[in-house]
Amino acid sequence: MSGTQSHNPLVTSAAKVEASPLAHAFHQFARSRLALFGLALLLLIVCAAIFAPWLTPQNPYDLMQLDILDGMLPPGEASMSQGFIFRLGSDEQGRDIYSAILYGLRISLIVGVISALTAAIVGSVLGLLAAYVGGRTESTIMRLVDLQLSFPTILVALMILATLGKGITNVVLALVIVEWATFARAARGTALVETRREYVEAADCMGLPMRSILFRHLLPNCIPPLIVIVTVQIAKAISLEATLSFLGVGVPVTEPSLGLLIANGYQFMFAGKYWLSVFPGIALLATIASINLVGDRLRDVFNPRGA
């Protein structure tokens, strides 16, 4: 950055933020068409997942609705017994791939969002605590963070799930354990800067309890960078969950996520039956990519100099 203040985008944007922060942030956000496209896609995906029962011709988990005669139909074939068309084909049990994708999307999104949010809460509280208290608390927490981050996520998650066994709760737990450190580090970084500000000093002097300083004063000022990380981590969690399910240690077969749907189709792929795994894969890709597009733009909006 050059020394001249007039060209500093931080100053001009800060002035506008005071007028109407949300509107301004959105305006900034919308300047990238790619990001807007990502946001629209994301909204579409979320709506599709929420309203899945009304958008699909069958409930893919209800065995009564499945007809084995409809098995392995390529995309576009009509059902033998029921009055609908398998738009994206069917699997070996006669399950409509399109319906399975929307229901699988629900599992993937729920697992991703819950684990990322939990990790965000746990991680930021520990990070704030480390920054504010300092001393031994800080070094203990940060050692743990370093230890956690020095091991690849997939390995840690794999081991946790190998220990605990399959299941949605276990997957969420594994993802939280894998992700909290990222938040702790980011929260500490931001909070370290903030704790030196006057308002924290003032709160200290007024003798406010630590809880109130941490959560009512420090936390709100550390939120923007954390929002960006939450977005990115949701995408990461969804991707990791899909990978774990693909490896056979993730969600149980009774509640297939997108990753498990892809894994189920894997064995049929060599016979050229592409639709079983390609379409769930596209859904997964669209979900992760749209979240990443939004997160990428949010980073630019909240942090013009780039992280």
Partner 1 sequence: MLVSLLRRLIQATFVLVAMTVIVFLGVNVIGNPVDILISPQADQAERTRLIAEFGLDQPVWIQYFEFVKGALQGDLGTSYVFNEPALKIILQHLPATLELAVAATLMSVAIGIPLGLYAGLRPKSLPTRIIMAGSILGFSLPTFWVGMLLILCFAVYLGWFPSSGRGDTVTVFGIPWSFLTLDGLQHMLLPAFNLALFKTSLILRLTRAGVQEVMPQDYIRLARAKGLSNRRIVAVHVLKNVLIPVVTVVGLEFGSIIAFSVVTEKIFAWPGMGKLIIDSINVLDRPVMVAYLMIIVVLFILINLVVDVLYTILDPRIRLNAGRGR
Which residues are near partner 1 by CB under 8 A? 2, 34, 147, 150-152, 154-155, 158-160, 162-163, 235, 239, 242-243, 246-249, 259, 262, 266, 269-270, 272, 274, 277-278, 281, 284-285, 288-289, 292-293, 296, 306
| Least distance to partner 1, CB of residue 306, Å | 6
CB 294 within 8 A of CB 231: yes
| Least distance to partner 1, CB of residue 251, Å | 15
| Least distance to partner 1, CB of residue 161, Å | 9
Dihedral angle over CA of 258, 260, 266, 272, nearest 10: -40
Q: Which is nearer to partner 1, 196 or 305 (CB)?
A: 305
Q: Residue 223's CB: how many other CB atoms inside 10 A?
A: 13
| Least distance to partner 1, CB of residue 221, Å | 22
Q: Which is nearer to partner 1, 189 or 224 (CB)?
A: 189
| Least distance to partner 1, CB of residue 185, Å | 8
Which residues sit opposite 53 in a β-bridge?
none
Q: Which is nearer to partner 1, 124 or 239 (CB)?
A: 239
| Least distance to partner 1, CB of residue 277, Å | 6
Q: Which is nearer to partner 1, 79 or 115 (CB)?
A: 115
Q: What is the DSSP letter of 216?
A: I
Contacts of range 78-86, beta carbons closer than 8 Å, 24 or more positions apart:
82/57, 82/58, 84/57, 84/58
Q: Which is nearer to partner 1, 44 or 155 (CB)?
A: 155
| Least distance to partner 1, CB of residue 63, Å | 27
- How many Å separate Cα 66 from the centre of its chain? 32
| Least distance to partner 1, CB of residue 199, Å | 26
Give exposure, 4-41, as e/b (b: 16+ Cβ within 10 Å): eeeeeeeeeeeeeeeeeeeebbeebbeebeebeebbeb
Per the structure block, which two tokens stand in for 287? Answer: 């979900």
Q: Which is nearer to partner 1, 111 or 262 (CB)?
A: 262
Q: Which is nearer to partner 1, 101 or 213 (CB)?
A: 101
Per the structure block, which two tokens stand in for 186? Answer: 């980011």
Question: What is the Cα–Cα distance from 178 to 244, expressed in whole angstroms?
Answer: 13
| Least distance to partner 1, CB of residue 222, Å | 18
Q: Which is nearer to partner 1, 86 or 246 (CB)?
A: 246
**DSSP H helices in the chain:** 9-19, 21-30, 33-50, 52-55, 97-133, 135-149, 153-164, 168-195, 198-205, 210-212, 219-247, 258-269, 275-302
Which residues sit opposite 86 in a β-bridge?
77
Q: Which is nearer to partner 1, 127 or 259 (CB)?
A: 259
CB 99 within 8 A of CB 86: no
